[in-house]
Amino acid sequence: MTDFDALLKRSFAEAHEPADDGFVVNVTHSVAQREAGLKVRGYMQLGAVTIGAAAVSWGLYTLVGAFGQEIMASVGLEIARAHAAVSAQPDAGAAAQNFLQSMGAGLTQILLLTGVLAGGAVAYRASQD
- How much helix, strand and coil, in percent to the nearest 5, is found in the chain? 90, 0, 10
Residues with Cβ within 8 Å of 75's Cβ and at least 6 positions away in sequence, in order, are 106, 109
Residues 82, 103: Cα–Cα separation, whole Å: 7
Using the 8-state DSSP alphabet, how is residue 20 labeled? G
The pLDDT of residue 39 is above 80: yes
pTM, whole model, 2 decimals?
0.39
Using the 8-state DSSP alphabet, how is residue 18 labeled? G
Residues 109, 115: Cα–Cα separation, whole Å: 10
Give residue-wise pLDDT tens across range 82-113. Answer: 887 777 656 666 667 777 777 766 667 777 78
